[in-house]
Amino acid sequence: MTPDPLVPAKAGTQAGPGAHANRLGSRLRGNERWGGWWVAAIPYLWLLLFFAVPFVLVAKLSLSHTVLAIPPYAPRLDLGQGWAGLAAFARALSFETYARLAHDRLYLAAYLSSLRFAAEATAILLAIGYPIAYGIARHPSGQRQGLVLAVMLPFWTSFLIRIYAWIAILKPAGLLNQALAILHLPPLTLLNTDAGVLIGLVYAYLPFMVLPLYAVLERQDESLIEAARDLGCTPTQAFWRVTVPLSWPGVAAGALLCFIPMVGEFVIPDLLGGSSTLMLGRTLWTEFFADRDWPAASAVAIALLATLAIPIALFQRQQARVLR
Amino acid sequence: MTRGPSTFNRLSVALGLAFLYAPIVLLVVYSFNASRLVTVWGGVSTRWYAALAHDGAMLDAIGVSLRVGLVSASLATVLGLLAAMTLTRGGRFAGRGLFAGMIYAPLVLPEVVLGLSLLLLFVALGLPRGIWTVTLSHTTVTLCYAAVVIQARLADLDPSLEEAAQDLGCPPATAFVKVTLPIVAPAIAAAWMLALTLSLDDLVVASFTSGPGATTLPMRLYSQVRLGVNPEINAVSTLLIGAVATAVTLAGVWRRRRGR
């Protein structure tokens, strides 16, 4: 636990980590490519202050308890009292909030249903995204770039707006049910249901599934399929035994890229889900904004992070491999 | 792959694109609907655009979003360029793993977690929440995207180009500015646009880190959407989509020109 959020950031420019920055600097000057250690130090310190330190604060707050005050939590660290203040602060921290959350059925249900939503949506995304990515990769190279751009383009338009568009489609008297009525089909109840949330998740994350899949499929060597065919494979067998196994890195990248943020998704369950749709992102939001229970919101955030740590580590390893 | 697409291939691409674009097309079409009921067609009208022009709160929100977006995207691009240089050319230094982790983690971390953690930082520092705290937060999140975009281009770059410039007497900094920067420029432009788009689009991080008087456009839209579907939202959305489409087209044209 860091006693003061500013300490690690300041130290970086002076004593201990500063020496490391100088060592780094000398190696860079050795390269004679670009100007000095500050190139690394500026973004490094920025991320330490605005990314690493805040996470320590979240962890600290999850061990605190709520009080009616501004800000609404205790204990607060008083550095003016030196070690005594720090000791008193450390004694007042407790795992009480976690115990409270663990005994509340609602949190457990939200936790499990977040994972279920993300897993189901990832499976559907793979089933839909793979044929799209494969289809694009099979187009002549002149057309591929345009098709990839077409898949990417919706990502550039507002996420909130695209989810909002689905409300008008999925509403009981919405556009989908109007279309079904024309076809003499029974209406569907989708808005404010779990099915609505799944549709929203699949819609919003589809580009993130298609692109990594396309990246591996596009590079695949055609002669491997021909070899499989020459050795007596049917086209279907060649697809399942050559194309699919070789596309595994794309499948892993796409699945992780979608699964991780979907577990903590807030906007989609909030706008398309019903009052009974439980997801951790929404729970955190409600704890923070409606109940003003900052320790509970922090504990939920830590639970989310702990759950996502392994998928995120896998994702980073994947990224590192791509970089090399 | 060189074989032509089969009917199944064509069909899956066509259906996929239809799925991606149908909601956007419907949203745009219904922004010109005369009826107040969003899903009932009542003839063509531009009344919601006229209503928008008199919606002071919405116009204020657009102003706040633009200010936050332009400042944070510019800061994020500079920081992202430095981070990308560190990642591609920094070699192996102590703490490189932590640095790379801090670059990649925000790309996948849930926004609610990022928003909450940044808010706690501002509370701990005693900074009053407002337009500047949102700007700092957006800079932090989008600098990671900028770094990844620029880094991909830097990694492809042939280092011998810069070395050649230095052999010909260029100081390292000048060689970087005169040789590397022009080659990386399209990636820098793309990173800036991506950062701007992400900032203009962000609801969650802004909701946590914003204060009174600094309502961004997504925050305003969200509070309206919570009250129900409203044709004025369709009109704002259509304008936003139009702006994005124009920007993407211009960027494409610029790229093609450079390519020649």
Judge: A173–B39 Cβ closer than 8 Å, yes or no: yes
ipTM given for this complex: 0.86
**A11, pLDDT greater than 60:** no
Q: Are the beta carbons of B104 and A315 separated by less than 8 Å? A: yes
For residue B102, the distance in angstroms to the closest alpha carbon of chain A comes to: 7
Name the band, by pLDDT with cuts 50, 70 and 90, for residue A255: very high
pLDDT tens-digit map of A286-312: 888 888 888 899 999 999 999 998 888
Q: Which residues of A touch B138 (CB under 8 A)?
A: none
pLDDT at residue B245 greater than cutoff 90: no
CB spacing of B100 vs A52 below 8 angstroms: no
Residues 50-69 on A with a CB inside 8 Å of B are: 50-55, 57-58, 61
* Cβ(A94)–Cβ(A63) below 8 Å: yes
pLDDT in tens, B121-174: 999 898 899 999 999 999 999 999 999 999 988 888 887 888 888 888 888 778
Q: How confident is the model at residue B24 (pLDDT cuts 50, 70, 90)?
A: very high
Q: How confident is the model at residue A69 (pLDDT cuts 50, 70, 90)?
A: low
Mutation to test the A interface, candidates B10, B36, B37, B121, most A Cβ within 10 Å: B121
Highest mean pLDDT among A5-19, A27-41, A201-215 belongs to A201-215
Q: Does domain A99-323 have CATH number 3.30.200.20?
A: no
CB contact under 8 A, B140 and A50: yes
CB B59 within 8 Å of CB B217: no
Residues A285 and B32: their CA atoms lie apart, in Å, by: 34
Q: Is the pLDDT of residue B7 over 70?
A: yes
- Chain A: give the shortest CA distance to residue B182, in Å: 15
Residue B173's pLDDT is what?
Answer: 79
Q: Do B3 and A217 touch (CB under 8 A)?
A: no
Confidence grade of residue A5 (pLDDT, cut at 50, 70, 90): very low
Distance from CA of A279 to the nearest CA of B (A): 12
The stretch A230-255 carries a mean pLDDT of 90
Mean pLDDT on B235-242: 89
A310, A306, A311: which is closest to A254 by C-alpha?
A: A311
Structure tokens, A224 = 């491997």
Residue A314: per-residue pLDDT: 86
Q: Which alpha helices (H) appear in A157-279, and where do they start and end?
A: 159-170, 175-182, 194-219, 222-230, 235-238, 244-246, 248-263, 267-272
List the single range of A148-157, B60-69, B195-204 with lowest mean pLDDT. Answer: A148-157
Structural domain boundaries of chain A? 7-94, 99-323
Query: Is any Cβ of chain B less than 8 angstroms from the Cβ of A110?
Result: no
The phi, psi pair for A73, rounded to 5°, reads -150, 160
Is 80 exceeded by the pLDDT of residue B240? yes
- Indicate yes or no: CB of A138 within 8 angstroms of CB of B221: no
Q: Residue A317 has what pLDDT? A: 82
In this prediction, residue A129 carries a pLDDT of 96
**DSSP H helical ranges for B3-55:** 7-30, 47-53
CA distances from A162 to A159, A268, A288 (A): 5, 10, 26
Probe site for chain A from B103, B117, B153, B250 (most A CB atoms < 10 A) = B117
Identify all chain A residues contacting B143, using CB atoms and an 8 Å cutoff: 43, 46-47
CB contact under 8 A, A54 and B117: yes
The yes-or-no verdict on residue A1 having pLDDT over 60 is no
What domains can be seen in chain B, in order of their start residue? 55-259 (1.10.3720.10)
- Identity of the residue numbered A50: F
Q: How far is CA A82 from the centre of its chain?
A: 39
Overall average pLDDT of the A199-209 stretch:
95
Beta strands per DSSP E along chain B: none
More confident of the two residues B248 and A322: B248
Q: pLDDT band at A256, cuts 50/70/90?
A: very high
Q: What pLDDT does A31 receive?
A: 44
Q: Which residue has the higher pLDDT, A202 or B6?
A: A202
Cross-chain Cβ contact A264/B109 below 8 Å: yes
Alpha-carbon span B116 to A54, nearest angstrom: 8
Q: Which residue has the higher pLDDT, B255 or A150?
A: A150
Q: DSSP state, B109?
A: S
Mean pLDDT of B17-43: 85
Kindly indicate the confidence band of residue A29, based on its pLDDT and cuts at 50, 70 and 90: very low
pLDDT tens digit sequence for B167-199: 888 887 788 888 888 889 989 998 999 999 999
Of the candidates A42, A48, A160, the beta carbon closest to that of B82 is on A42
CA dist B183 and B191 (Å) reads 14
Q: Is the pLDDT of residue A179 over 80?
A: yes
Kindly report the nearest CA distance between residue A103 and chain B, in angstroms. Answer: 22
Strand, coil or helix: what is B218?
Answer: helix
Chain A: residue whose CA lies nearest to B79:
A43
- The pLDDT of residue A81 is 66
Q: What pLDDT score does A99 carry?
A: 83
| Sole residue written with tokens 């699949």 | A202
Residue B212 is predicted with a pLDDT of 84
Average the pLDDT over each of A84-93, A121-130, B96-105, B127-136 and give the range with the smallest value: A84-93
Length of chain A: 324
Greatest mean pLDDT range, A97-106, B70-79, B81-90: B70-79
Average pLDDT in chain B: 88
A20: pLDDT confidence band, cut at 50, 70 and 90?
A: very low
The token pair that represents A159 in the structure block: 């996420």
Q: B220 to chain A nearest CA, in Å?
A: 11
Structure tokens at B229: 């579907």
Q: At residue B62, what is the residue type?
A: I
pLDDT at residue A12, as a whole number: 34
Backbone angles phi, psi at B203, to 5 degrees: -100, -45
Q: Tell me, what's the pLDDT at B89? A: 79
Q: Residue A218 is nearest to which of B1, B24, B151, comparing CB atoms?
A: B1
Share of chain A above pLDDT 70, in %: 84
Region A103-127 average pLDDT = 93
Would you call A124 exposed, middle or buried from its count of C-beta atoms within 10 A (0-12, 13-18, 19+)?
middle
The stretches of B90-158 forming alpha helices (DSSP H) are 96-108, 111-125, 131-156
Is B20's CB within 8 Å of A207's CB?
yes
CA distance A313 to chain B (A): 9
Per-residue pLDDT, averaged over B32-44, amounts to 78
- What's the count of helices (H) and strands (E) in chain B, helices before strands? 12, 0
Chain A residues near residue B93 by CB distance under 8 angstroms: 20, 23-24, 27, 40
Q: Is the pLDDT of residue B227 over 70?
A: yes
pLDDT, residue A258, reads: 93
pLDDT single digits (tens) A54-68: 999 998 888 887 776
Bridge partners, residue A73, by sequence:
A66
pLDDT at A2: 31
Alpha-carbon distances, residue B120 vs A2, A52, A139, A302, B77 (angstroms):
14, 12, 50, 14, 25
Contact B99 A44 (CB under 8 A): yes
CA nearest to A142 within chain B: B2
Q: Which residues from chain A sit within 8 angstroms of residue B99, using beta carbons?
A: 40, 43-44, 47
Tell me the two tokens of residue B96: 């490189």
Judged by CB atoms closer than 8 Å, whether chains meet at A316 and B101 is answered as yes
Instruction: Judge contact between A64 and A74, C-beta under 8 A.
Output: yes
- B120 and A206 within 8 Å at the Cβ level: the answer is no
- In what helix (H) or strand (E) does residue A65 lie, and over which residues does it extend? strand A65-66
CB contact A71 to B (< 8 Å): yes
Contacts of B203 in chain A (CB under 8 A): 159-160, 267
User: Beta strand A73-74 with A65-66: parallel, antiparallel or unpaired?
Assistant: antiparallel
User: Is A285's pLDDT higher than 50?
Assistant: yes
| Residues A10, A276: Cα–Cα separation, whole Å | 46
pLDDT digits 0-9 by tens, A180-193: 989 988 888 888 89
- B119 to chain A: closest CA residue: A54
pLDDT band at A32 (very low <50, low <70, confident <90, very high): very low
